[in-house]
Amino acid sequence: MNCSSCASGSCVRRVPVFKGLSDIEIYQIENLVESMPYIKGQFVFREGERSDSLFVLNDGLIKLTQSSNDGKEHILRFLFPGDYFGQFALLQNKNNYVNAEVIEPSTVCLLHRKDFIPLLEKNTTLAYNFLLSMSEQLHHAEDWAAALHMLEVDKRLAKILLYFYSKDKGLNSNVHFPATKKEIAAMIGTTAETLSRKLNQFEELKIISVNKRVIHILEIKSLQLLAGINHE
């Protein structure tokens, strides 16, 4: 099934990697893309499996996880519509180092290696965008790793709230936790109890209001200051 037959063309147009390409180039890529529906609980791929595709999340929600030596699952990040993944296994022709688990019904677009690599070789704009996007992902990963070691829990919580806020596009100033508090707490290197206490503190400061897994941001600038973001 190609992209034109399954209305997944928006997959290509919404991803920064493909920005700057002509309509003809976009159309050519769209015709190479396959669209696959997934239900909650399915895996797009598992850790250790070989992959020959670049995956783009068109709609839904996916989490990337790794298994520790003791068998525990660690969430690396969440994928929101427009995010892509699988690029490292694709380029290096190696096995995936993460699990990609669907946590909301999702549609994933696939661009196979045999089609994608020739595109990179022939199109300098695409190659540059792809390298730039991968560089930004690595920078984000390094920035988050540094935050886990250097920043206080308040700052780490503020950072992840702002990240989810940006992915929710600020809709009604709401942030939806894509996982349980225990899982979110593990992502920011703390406990569920500490996370709940910090959320309560933010609420007392009138920065947010909390309704189960929905966080309503009342003072975005105050949250940015807590995260160490200064626009002055």
Report the 10 Å Cβ neighbour count for 150: 9
Q: How far apart are CA 100 and CA 171, in angstroms?
A: 26
Q: How far apart are CA 226 and CA 220, in angstroms?
A: 10
Per-residue CA distances from 230 to 2, 8, 158, 223 (Å): 45, 38, 13, 10
> Looking at residue 8, what is its pLDDT?
46
pLDDT tens track for 177-209: 888 888 899 888 889 999 999 999 999 999 999
Phi, psi (degrees; rounded to nearest 5) at 213 = -100, 15
> Looking at residue 134, what is its pLDDT?
75
Question: H or E segment at 74?
Answer: strand 73-79
> Looking at residue 68, what is its pLDDT?
78
Phi, psi (degrees; rounded to nearest 5) at 77 = -170, 170
CA atoms within 13 A on the CB side of 83: 20
> Looking at residue 40, what is its pLDDT?
95
> Looking at residue 215, what is its pLDDT?
92
End-to-end CA distance of the chain: 50
Q: How far apart are CA 44 and CA 60, in angstroms?
A: 13
Q: How far apart are CA 73 and CA 63, in angstroms?
A: 11
Q: How far apart are CA 213 and CA 216, in angstroms?
A: 10
How would you write the pLDDT of the chain (232 residues) with one tens digit per residue? 344 434 445 688 777 777 778 888 888 888 889 999 999 999 999 998 888 888 989 999 999 998 877 777 888 889 998 888 888 767 777 788 889 999 999 999 998 888 888 888 888 888 888 888 777 777 777 676 666 666 688 888 998 999 889 887 655 788 888 888 888 998 888 899 999 999 999 999 999 999 988 899 999 999 999 888 765 4
Show Cβ contacts of residue 97 under 8 Å, excluding neighbours closer than 6 positions: 47, 66, 88, 89
Exposure letters 164-179 (e unless 16+ CB within 10 A, then b): bbebbeeeeeebebbb
pLDDT tens track for 43-76: 999 998 888 888 989 999 999 998 877 777 888 8
